[in-house]
Amino acid sequence: MQTKFLFIDAETDGLYGSFLTVGLVVTDDAGNMIEKAYYGIKKENMMIKKCIGCGSLLQTIDKNKEGYVSNKVYNKVEYCERCFKIKHYGESYVIDKKFLIDEVVNKINKSNKPVLMLVDVLTINEEVFSVISKFTNKVYLVLSKKDLLPKSVKSYKLINKISELTLIKDVFVISSNTKEGVSNLYNKLLSDKVNSIYVVGFTNSGKSTLINTLLLMNDLKGVITTSSLPNTTLEDINIKLKDITLIDTPGFVSENNICNYIEIKKYTSLIPKKEIKPKVYNLRPGFMLLIRELIRIENNTDKNINLVLYLKNEINIEKMRVIRNNYLKDKEVFSTVCNNEDIVINGLGFIKVVNTAKIDIYVVNKNILSKRERLI
């Protein structure tokens, strides 16, 4: 027969208030300890203590589950082991946990709270527009990572174009890294007397980076985990600033993101971290572009076409003849006619097609590609 008993071990203060550390001990008939675990319980409302990085419940029982910390450090940490390693060592961890977009959207709509939706300005596409249209609450739409675009790109033109496509009035262009536009966004929330707001977005949209920037602006401690990989945030996290409570949500995971089809290390190496210098290619008939052995682009017309690639500067791009070159020809093909449009490579960047062009793009899954109206 097993015996279980609880004991209060210590009291600690964290980002979310004071917690009692409660221990659970399981013993056998002889009194030998079989299992020992700790839980942090908030004194005010008896809430379980959460990791401030991903929102998971902190636990010491199963190392293979989210929220794990060892017994030895439980009383001293605010991060789970996974978030600690991501934050301090840049290690890559992907947890296979599905968050259905419609379920998250419905929950938010029922709350009647406004929504702060972040969108990666490089890869905004029809899937993103579709999610935006599902919200019935007030939406503040934020185009993030402005620092990755060439300095010649004007924010007001992006705002006008996205407002036209989404019918959303409050559109902002920001860079959390340079803090450009962040104060304007925050002041707008204050002027609208927003008390609590959901923060949503697809993987690698910049949600966590923006929240950390707002924490610093409010002179508050606590840093949530940032990563370009899916499922960094695993549960809702309530983050109280001086005047507004941000509810950070798990990132929407797109099945059509290129990160689902290549190795994690390769994917993270393709993510741009600094201003992109567009690469211009004049592609004659019978020629193709090969992008990092991942994507093959063929000119399928009888005239020259012009393409402008907005990808990480260091990505290897080769121009070569099509004849007697079957590399990637066994992959799926995305055939399209573009007329001054963009082709988005979900999770990577986009290609601006100048004038009219008929092209064939070979890739592991053609659904990672989509067309959109030209943005810049």
DSSP string, 177-226: TTTBTHHHHHHHHHHTT--EEEEEEBTTSSHHHHHHHHHHHTT-------
157 CB neighbour count, 10 Å cutoff: 12
Give CA–CA dist 181/364, Å, rounded.
Answer: 37
With a cut of 50, which residues of the chain have pLDDT below it?
1-18, 41-47, 92-98, 225-231, 234
pLDDT in tens, 332-367: 999 999 999 999 999 999 999 998 999 999 999 999
Looking at every residue in the chain, the average pLDDT score rounds to 82
Residues of the chain with CATH 3.40.50.300: 101-254
pLDDT in tens, 39-49: 554 444 444 56
Instruction: Specify the pLDDT at position 21.
Output: 54
Structure tokens at 64: 């293979």
- 101-254 folds as Rossmann fold (3.40.50)
Length of the chain: 376
Instruction: Specify the pLDDT at position 297.
Output: 97
pLDDT in tens, 134-143: 999 999 999 9
